[in-house]
Structure 1
C-alpha cells in the first residue's frame, strides 16, 4: 500500500484531515500525519485533537507564526527534508491556509503527486491571502477534490482536466455528523447560562475585520444592536482579544473547543461570522447565518443553505439580522454533504496511485489558469 503524507497546519485543517485519515487507514494505506505548527496555541490546537479523537501527529514541524513570506518559507524549509526522507507516494493537503500552499509547492517541486481537499473554492477577492493560497494550491495539484458543484465549475472554467476533478462532498460535514451527538451532550450552554434558541453566536477573526479599528468598531456596533434583541455570545479569538474595546451588550467567553462550539452553533437562534467553515456548519445544522464579509468562497451555503452574505455595513447587518430573526430561512443541505466525503476521497486517491498509466505530475498540471 502507498505511503501518503497528510498535512494539517491550523485549526480549520484539523476537522478536514480526520475523515481523510480514517478513510485511508481503514483501507490499509500508510499515512504520515504532519502538523506544521502554524497554529500552536493550546486553545486553537491541542483541544481540537482531543475533541476530534485525532491521533497525535507523526511529525510536528514547529514552524510557528510570522509574516506570510516568513511563515511560508519556514514551512517549506521544514517540510522539504521530510519529503526527501519519507519519499511519499502522495501528499494530501486540505483547505487554504499558508501550510496548504507551502507543502503543495514542496511536493510539486519534488515530483510527488499532490491531492487538494476542498479544491475549487473561489471568493474572487484577491485581498484575501486564502484566495491566493487556494488558486496556487489547485494549480500545483494532480487531484482536485471539490466539496460542491460550484467548485467543479470553477475548476473546469480554469482549464483543469476532467480526470483531475472529483466532486467529493464536504469533509467538514463528515466530522460534524460524526461528533454531533457528543457535542449536543456538552454542558457548555449551562456553563454560560444560555437557553437553546434564545441567543446569537458571533465570531470575528479575519484581519480585514479586526485589524482596522474603524471596521471593528462598526461591526461591534452592529453586534451590540443585535444584542438589544437577544444576547450575543462572542468567543474571543486571540487576534480579536488584543483589539477589542470595552463593549456593552456582548457576552464574551473564552475560545471554545470543537465540541463546545458545535453545541453553541446548534442551539443558537442566529450566527454572525466572518469564518468560512462556520458558513458550512450552520448550513448543515439548519441554523441561520449572517456572513460579515463582502464575498464568500462558499456560495452554495447561500444558494442551498441557510447563509446570507451581508457585508460589513452596520445598518445592513442590523436590518438583515432583524429580518432573519422574524423569518428564518428553511433548512437546506447540499448534495453529498452526507458524512461520506472522506471515503470518496480515499477511494479516488488510492485508485489513482494504483493505476500504472496515471499521468505524470507535469502532465496533470499542464493547464492554463
Structure 2
C-alpha cells in the first residue's frame, strides 16, 4: 500500500508521525509531502522524529494570506499526485494546508483519508479558519478517522455514511505518551517551591483584543508568590507581541521561543495549570490529567471538559483570572489522566482501517476527471 501524508505545521507532523512509523514498519511506502510554510517549526518536528520530506513545496512567505497558501498547496501537490498516484492521501486536522491538500487529492482522483475527522465547534468563526477547513475536508474525504465517538456522531449528523467512519482515537496521544515515557528534561530550571503555570496562545480569532486581555490577566496572575509561569511564544508576531509586551518585566515569567516537542512535553508533565487556546494542548493535558483553562469562546474538544480537568473560560480578563485563582487555591490533587482522546495504540487502528477500506476510486485513472 502506498500512502502520502500532507504536512504543513508542527502539530500535523507530530500527529502523523505514529501513522508514518506504523506504515513503514509494516512494509508500506509512506511519503511525506511538506508544504514548507512553517519552515523552522516544521523542520524541527520532522527532525525530532528522524523524518525527511519526500516533497517540499517551500511555501513559506512573509505575510502570506490563507488564499495564497491554499493555492500554492494545490498547485504544488497536483503534479506529484498525478505522477505517483498513492492509494491514500492522508490529511490531518483542520489547517488550511490540510484542506487544500484534500482538494488537490480530490481533483487528482486520489482517495483522501482524514485523520482526526469529525471535530466541530458548530461556529464557522470559532475557530477561524479551522472550523470551515475541517467541514470542507469532511465533504471530500472517503475515509473519516474520527478520534472519538462524539466526532463520529458529528459526521453522521452531516450525512457521512457510517461505513466510511472509523473511531480510532487520536494519534497525538500515541506521540505524547511515547515522548512522556522518556521523561525529557524541561528547557528551563523549575523552582520546586512554586507551581508551574504553562501558557500558550495563538488563535487567529483571539488576536488583538482577545490576546491583550489574556496577557493582562497573565501579568496579574504571575504576581502570585507561589507561581512560576512559562510562556512559549508563537512565531506569528501577532500572537506573540501582546504576551511578550505584557509579561516582559514579570520576574516570575519565562518567555521562550517555540519549543521542540520533547521540551514542551517536559513542561506539560510538570505543570500545575495550563492556560491555552490550543485544541491539541487540550487533548494532551487531559491525557496527562493536568488542569486546563481554555481561553476561547467555543471548544471543539468537549471530551476534555467531560474528563473533568478542563474548563472553558473565554477570553475575558476577569473570568480568566478568577478561574486560575480557583484552580491554584484548591488543595493539590493527584493527576487524573483521561483516555478520552486515545490510549496510545491509535496509529495501528488507523493503519488497519486504511488497509481494509480501499475505495474503488483508488483504481480510477486521473484522466477520468481531467478535460
TM-score, L = length of structure 2: 0.89
Deviation at 1:242, TM superposition (A): 4.1
1:73 maps to 71
For the residues of structure 2 that align with 1:281 and 1:336, how far apart are their CA atoms?
9
Contact 1:305–1:332 (CA under 8 A) maintained in structure 2: no
1:233 & 1:157 partners in 2: Cα distance?
41
CA contact (8 A) 2:186 2:267 kept: no
Q: CA deviation at 1:50?
A: 2.8
Aligned to 1:367: none
- The answer to whether the Cα contact below 8 Å between 2:287 and 2:340 also exists between their aligned partners in 1 is no
Shift in Å, 1:246: 4.4
Match of 1:351 in 2: 356
Match of 1:313 among 292, 311, 316: 316
In structure 2, C-alpha distance between the alignment counterparts of 1:110 and 1:185, rounded to whole Å: 42
Query: Which of 259, 262, 265 matches 2:262?
Result: 259
Contact 1:63 1:78 in 2 (8 A): no
Contact 1:283 1:301 in 2 (8 A): yes
Q: Which residue pairs with 1:366 in the alignment?
A: none
**Correspondence 1:125 to 2:130:** no
Q: Which residue of structure 2 lines up, in the alignment, with residue 35 of structure 1?
A: 34
Counterpart in the other structure of 1:241: 240
Q: Is the 8 A contact 1:305 1:334 kept in 2?
A: no
Q: Is the 8 A contact 2:197 2:274 kept in 1?
A: yes
Q: Which residue of 2 aligns with 1:227?
A: 222
Structure 1 residue 305 displacement after superposition: 4.7
Counterpart in the other structure of 1:331: 336
Q: Deviations over 1:141-167 (max 9, x none)?
A: 000011111101100111110110110
Q: What residue in structure 2 maps to residue 203 of structure 1?
A: 200
Distance verdict in 2 for CA 1:138–1:216, change over 3 Å:
same
- Residue 218 (structure 1) aligns with: 213
Find the aligned partners of 2:314 and 2:52 in 1 and give their Cα distance. Answer: 38
Q: Any conservation in 2 of the 1:18–1:54 contact (CA below 8 Å)?
A: no
Residues 35 and 97 in structure 2, CA contact (< 8 A), matched pair in contact too: yes
Among candidates 41, 48, 55, match of residue 51 of structure 2? 55
1:282 aligns with 2:265: no
Shift of 1:5: 0.9
Gaps of 5+ in 1: 362-369
TM-score by length of 1: 0.90
**2: CA distance, partners of 1:196 / 1:132:** 45
CA offset digits 1:18-71 (Å, max 9, x no partner): 11111112222111111111211x2x12222232x2411111111224111100
Alignment check: 8 A CA contact 1:9 1:39 kept: yes
What's the secondary structure of 2:314's corresponding residue? coil
After superposition, the Cα gap between the structure-2 partners of 1:323 and 1:298, relative to the gap in structure 1 and judged at 3 Å, is same
Q: Distance in 1 between matches of 2:204 and 2:340?
A: 32
In the alignment, what sits opposite 1:106?
104
Tell me the distance in 2 between the aligned counterparts of 1:291 and 1:144: 26
Match of 1:151 in 2: 151
| Structure 2 counterparts to residues 292-311 of structure 1, below 5 A | 292-311=295-314
Asked whether the 8 Å contact 1:114–1:143 carries over to 2, the reply is yes
RMSD: 1.9
**Structure 2, unaligned stretches of length 5 or more?**
363-371
Query: Structure 1 residue 177: deviation in Å?
Result: 0.8
Equivalent position of 2:142 in the other structure: 142
Instruction: Decide whether the 8 Å contact of 1:189 with 1:195 is kept in 2.
Output: no
1:22–1:228: structure 2 CA closer, same or farther, 3 Å change rule?
same
Q: Deviations over 1:220-249 (max 9, x none)?
A: 111112212212211121223345424343
Aligned residue for 1:45, secondary structure, equals helix
